[in-house]
Amino acid sequence: MIDTHLIDEALALARLAMGLSEPNPRVGCILANGAGQVLGQGHTQRAGGPHAEVMALRDAAARGADLHGATAYVTLEPCSHHGRTGPCCDALVAAGIGRVVASLTDPNPQVAGQGFARLRAAGIEVVVGPGAEASRELNLGFFSRMARRRPWVRMKAAASLDGRTALDNGQSQWITSPEARADGHAWRARAGAVLTGVGTVRDDDPRLDVRLVETPRQPHLAVVDSRLDTPPRARLFDVPGRQVWIYTASADGERRAALEARGAIVIPLPDRRGKVDLPAMLQDLARREVNELHVEAGARLNGSLVRERLVDELLLYQAALLLGPGRGIADAGALTALQDGLRLAIRDAVPVGPDLRILARVPGSDRF
């Protein structure tokens, strides 16, 4: 009972790392004595900063706590390698920890059980499993990047009850409520990068940054732009602290130079049709340490992602509104059989202001 309660508390701490720790996983740690008294606690900080275990050890030291024989409750295997920081398993051993309760094995090949092995070799009891499902769900993007070498792809859309994201003339502001838009920014903030298409850039000139909720960092921005039509004066270049990656099939040196002068990183990834190779783009984003990719694009790019079965999850804000003819969520081409449609499993449906937020997942997309 104590183990279950304290790992739940560690998971609550891990959620505080959302939007902060990327590209590192969101991890929480609680140090407690045998009676369940908390001696120290912490969560993962910015990349290059302390991990959850080190933060908890520092908190315990500030409290003057004796950690000899204490239990560390941590939501992911303590790391065993020298990356941006030192090995957390060694820090726990040095502190005199007697027992570690961890939710999951770290999928990073540089760890992958080695942290547990070093703890056991030092005589520390290791229990693995409590909180596993919640911890994996919290870090689904990190697990995806490690196992599939591609980010977890979440497509966001705001639509009317009849599935329209805009009128035929392009007007879309605003179909959903201020509450829904703020909630959407919270999901935007947790991503490693936002993905959009050049059509959205040219039609709406969006910033695609996080403004409606507090965030310690701005997610990077990726633009699919086969012909390098992104205007150099686009507002997306006016957001400090993030990188702008433009994926293209064009070899136009003049246009590339103009975009690079604005700070863009232009990445040629043509496929055989002269379009951007979308699977290769996802692999490249994983190499750039993007765990969660938040898609906010028009029907054409959304349709291409759906058609190529590259979407893992749909985040839909639905307004109690009927618009009639207009633009849809994803233009993936006409089907001739119902069974060819992309069927989703609804995981969550909750009111957000006057609207409904639906989170629906492609069955099997999380099996990796």
Q: Are 3 and 103 in contact (CB under 8 A)?
A: no
Q: Are 107 and 81 in contact (CB under 8 A)?
A: no
The residues, ordered by sequence, that sit 6+ positions from 56 with a Cβ below 8 Å of its Cβ are 29, 30, 31, 40, 41, 42, 72
Tokens of 114: 């080695």
Q: How far is CA 50 from CA 42, 47, 73, 83, in A?
A: 9, 8, 17, 11
Catalytic residue, from 22, 53, 77, 292: name it.
Answer: 53
Distance CA 132, CA 10 (A): 12
Q: How far is CA 161 from CA 173, 317, 335, 356, in A?
A: 16, 10, 22, 10
Cis amide prior to 23 (ω within 30 degrees): yes
53 is catalytic: yes
Q: How far is CA 147 from CA 22, 111, 200, 334, in A?
A: 17, 13, 31, 33
Upper half-sphere CA count for residue 11 (Cβ side, 13 Å): 21
Tokens of 363: 């069955």
Residue with tokens 């995806």: 144
CB atoms within 10 A of CB 264: 23
Tokens of 368: 């990796």
Which residues are catalytically annotated?
A: 53
